[in-house]
């Protein structure tokens, strides 16, 4: 863990790799619906039938990973982490084959430290649990109450739940399912995870050697860019932080927003820096992922995009047991959503809020069988560049994804092809 991205990016490397940053609750603006789009199928008798829903969602509010050095610490007391009774369900965590939960080195690293107040870093709070419960309620209104798409009681034949092997995302998945089905279940809910080396639900710097090489250079470089470097030096001076402590805008923001979200005080000196910290943290992430560099995004989210496409194909072919599934839920991180938004070319230079979701709906014309994919972000429909409408014809959507999706075999082949690759 400590060698993921080199000395210059040490404090930030874990946060980038495992989706630890967060943002104030902002919503994206909805895009205009293109005139060529088919009408909404909110009416069950519509010409267009909803066939499949896939949701990538960020975990809820959490404790910070680190406190800013030399700055008054907030008190992260255990009462901030108490689960609301309405989020309780009967669930189990397994590997992808249904076996025992794999080891969780990322979570283990959190448990080696204790924040002021007595809790561990990176833990889902009561507020975060409620945020995911409310996302589940929103999905319930759309897919159970407003249309008869899902059963009102949880069914494993209909719903697939996968999470990164980190407690905050596992608990977030649990809370979403509780809100979606109002704790109604006849069977236990399996939440599937995989070992850290093979994880594709976040940019895996630990499991992909080439991604580590490509991004470590850009990570170290991001804090030295002219505008960012000058602002960083100013805020270091204001806070009394020494340069050798390697505190960047992402770490500062991590602590600041955690406090604000939970009503805990920030040191007064930081108040005037709020907007600048937010702007520079996004600037850093944009430089690290650099969407103009296709290889970066392919290695960050290529395998995940391929899985999303495979789920669509299986549903349309109807040739496997998985084709009966109606809903795929993926509990992930902001560092999953950001490169996905970049790959879809809809990233708006705003950090994804807690419980943000990217939802893909597959629709099919009842008469012609023509298929469409509709993408929404934070509940707002998106017009994807390369698509002729918000309801994107399947082949157009396939073309959009193909720019960055990678099969598992190709992904691992590229990850291990590091000869001569020392930097970008």
Per the residue annotation, which of 248, 254, 334, 381 is the catalytic one? 334
What secondary structure does DSSP assign to 219-231, as a single string?
HHHHTTSHHHHHH
Sequence-distant (≥ 6) Cβ neighbours of residue 284 within 8 angstroms: 222, 223, 228, 248, 249, 250
Residue 32 to residue 382: CA distance in whole angstroms: 8
Helix (H) or strand (E) holding 189, with range, is strand 189-193
Alpha helices, H only, 187-344: 209-222, 226-239, 249-261, 268-271, 274-289, 294-317, 334-343
Residue 21 to residue 12: CA distance in whole angstroms: 9
Judged on CB neighbours under 10 Å (0-12, 13-18, 19+), 129 is buried
Sequence-distant (≥ 6) Cβ neighbours of residue 156 within 8 angstroms: 187, 189, 190
Question: Are 38 and 373 in contact, with CB atoms under 8 Å apart?
Answer: no
Closest to 384 measured CA to CA, from 401, 368, 367, 365: 401
Residue 410 to residue 208: CA distance in whole angstroms: 12
Tell me, what DSSP letter sits at residue 317? H
Question: Does residue 146 carry a catalytic annotation?
Answer: no
Other beta carbons within 10 angstroms of residue 53's beta carbon come to 21
Question: Does residue 334 carry a catalytic annotation?
Answer: yes
Question: Are 377 and 356 in contact, with CB atoms under 8 Å apart?
Answer: yes
Sequence-distant (≥ 6) Cβ neighbours of residue 29 within 8 angstroms: 348, 380
Per the residue annotation, which of 59, 206, 262, 363 is the catalytic one? 59
Residue 65 to residue 162: CA distance in whole angstroms: 23
What are the φ and ψ backbone dihedral angles of 259, each rounded to 5 degrees? -65, -50
Other beta carbons within 10 angstroms of residue 266's beta carbon come to 19
Alpha helices, H only, 87-199: 105-110, 126-140, 167-181
**C-alpha angle with apex 242: 239 to 247, nearest 5 degrees?**
75
- Residues annotated catalytic, as ranges: 59, 334
């Amino acid at each position: 863990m400590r060698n993921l991205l080199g000395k210059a990016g040490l404090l930030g490397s874990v946060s980038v790799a495992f989706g630890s940053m967060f943002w104030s609750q902002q919503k994206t603006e909805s895009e205009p619906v293109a005139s060529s789009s088919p009408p909404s199928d909110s009416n069950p008798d519509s010409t267009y039938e909803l066939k499949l829903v896939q949701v990538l969602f960020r975990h809820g509010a959490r404790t910070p990973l680190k406190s800013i050095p030399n700055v008054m610490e907030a008190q992260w007391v255990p009462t901030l982490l108490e689960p609301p009774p309405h989020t309780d369900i009967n669930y189990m965590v397994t590997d992808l084959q249904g076996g025992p939960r794999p080891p969780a080195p990322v979570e283990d690293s959190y448990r080696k430290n204790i924040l002021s107040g007595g809790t561990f870093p990176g833990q889902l709070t009561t507020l975060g649990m409620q945020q995911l419960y409310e996302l589940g309620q929103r999905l319930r209104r759309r897919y159970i109450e407003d249309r008869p798409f899902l059963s009102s009681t949880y069914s494993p034949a209909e719903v697939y739940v996968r999470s990164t092997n980190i407690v905050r995302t596992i608990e977030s998945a649990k809370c979403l399912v509780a809100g979606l089905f109002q704790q109604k279940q006849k069977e236990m809910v399996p939440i599937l995870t995989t070992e850290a080396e093979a994880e594709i639900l976040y940019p895996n710097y630990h499991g992909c050697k080439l991604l580590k090489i490509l991004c470590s250079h850009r990570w170290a470089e991001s804090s030295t860019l002219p505008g960012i470097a000058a602002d960083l030096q100013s805020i270091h001076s204001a806070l009394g932080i020494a340069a050798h402590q390697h505190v960047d805008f992402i770490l500062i923001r991590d602590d600041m927003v955690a406090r604000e979200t939970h009503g805990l005080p920030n040191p007064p000196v930081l108040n005037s820096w709020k907007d600048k910290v937010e702007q520079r943290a996004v600037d850093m992430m944009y430089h690290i992922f650099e969407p103009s560099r296709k290889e970066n995004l392919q290695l960050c989210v290529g395998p995940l995009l391929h899985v999303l496409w495979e789920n669509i194909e299986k549903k349309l072919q109807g040739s496997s047991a998985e084709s009966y599934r109606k809903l795929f839920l993926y509990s992930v991180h902001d560092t999953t959503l950001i490169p996905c938004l970049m790959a879809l070319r809809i990233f708006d230079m705003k950090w994804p809020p807690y419980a943000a979701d990217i939802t893909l709906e597959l629709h099919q014309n009842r008469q012609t069988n023509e298929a469409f994919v509709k993408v929404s972000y934070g509940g707002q429909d998106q017009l994807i560049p390369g698509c002729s409408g918000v309801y994107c014809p399947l082949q157009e959507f396939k073309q959009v994804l193909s720019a960055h999706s990678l099969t598992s075999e190709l992904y691992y082949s590229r990850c291990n092809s590091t000869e001569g690759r020392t930097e970008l």
